[in-house]
């Protein structure tokens, strides 16, 4: 069995990807992914181990079946979980659908869903449960909505302390995962 120590980040980038100008760097979800990378760069103890950096980069203009899809799968196979950025801007792209479907159905990877438009755990909740507006976001990604019952999914705001706790939580790592259901941080 491969050593699964990476955190695979799934996020929406428009297809086809345009490499001109700022490209992915102008895409909001890519900015959030880069924020995790910068936190790690500033503090080596931040528990983010980027699965994307473990294989060579490919241009998003590459062929989907022969290059991009196999690269996504290779990165996912070496991961202990999936970090998914989900917001109003998220679109059900071919890549995000593949990442979620393969990550859950084939690899059984737990999902840590980060909601970048929310910054406290209370902002996600109403009467101690996830707000309906949060649950409505799941409809943007039918694979997530329909497959969440197969793996544990932890729902957190864009908050460094809560993300740190999430990444350190062994209940959301493939080899030590907890019971499949929806979780929110209580502490």
Whole-structure pTM value: 0.89
Task: Say how far residue 175 (Cα) sits from the centre of its chain.
Answer: 18
- What band does 1 get if pLDDT is binned at 50, 70 and 90? very low
Longest dimension (CA), the chain: 48
- Which residue, 7, 58, 79, 12, is CA-closest to 36? 7
Q: Indicate if the pLDDT at residue 186 is higher than 70.
A: no
Out of 102-106, 154-158, 183-187, pick the least confident. Answer: 183-187
At residue 120's C-alpha, the angle toward residues 116 and 126, to 5°, is 105
The pLDDT tens digits for 53-94 are 755 555 555 666 767 788 889 999 999 999 999 999 998 989
Q: Where does residue 184 fall: left (phi above 0), alpha (psi -120 to 50 degrees), or beta otherwise?
A: beta
Dist. CA 180–CA 4, nearest whole Å: 19
- Which residue, 68, 86, 81, is CA-closest to 107? 81
How is the chain split into domains, by residue range? 6-184
pLDDT at 55: 54
Query: Of 3.40.50.11200, 3.40.50.2300, 3.10.105.10, 3.40.50.300, which CATH number belongs to 6-184?
Result: 3.40.50.11200
- What band does 15 get if pLDDT is binned at 50, 70 and 90? low
The pLDDT tens digits for 17-53 are 544 445 555 577 888 999 999 999 999 999 999 997 7
Neighbours of 178 (CB within 10 A): 15
Q: Indicate if the pLDDT at residue 109 is higher than 70.
A: yes
């Amino acid at each position: 069995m491969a050593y699964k120590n990476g955190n695979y980040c799934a996020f929406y980038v428009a297809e086809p990807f345009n490499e001109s100008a700022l490209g992915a760097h102008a895409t909001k979800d890519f900015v959030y992914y880069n924020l995790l990378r910068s936190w790690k760069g500033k503090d080596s103890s931040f528990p983010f181990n980027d699965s994307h950096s473990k294989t060579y980069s490919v241009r998003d203009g590459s062929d989907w079946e022969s290059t991009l899809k196999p690269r996504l799968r290779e990165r996912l196979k070496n991961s202990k979980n999936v970090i998914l950025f989900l917001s109003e801007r998220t679109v059900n792209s071919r890549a995000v659908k593949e990442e979620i479907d393969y990550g859950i159905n084939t690899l059984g990877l737990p999902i840590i869903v980060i909601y970048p438009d929310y910054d406290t755990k209370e902002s996600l909740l109403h009467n101690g449960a996830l707000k309906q507006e949060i649950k409505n976001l799941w409809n943007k990604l039918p694979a997530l909505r329909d497959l969440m019952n197969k793996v544990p999914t932890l729902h957190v705001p864009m908050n460094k302390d809560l993300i740190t706790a999430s990444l350190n939580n062994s209940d959301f790592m493939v080899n030590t995962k907890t019971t499949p259901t929806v979780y929110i941080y209580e502490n």
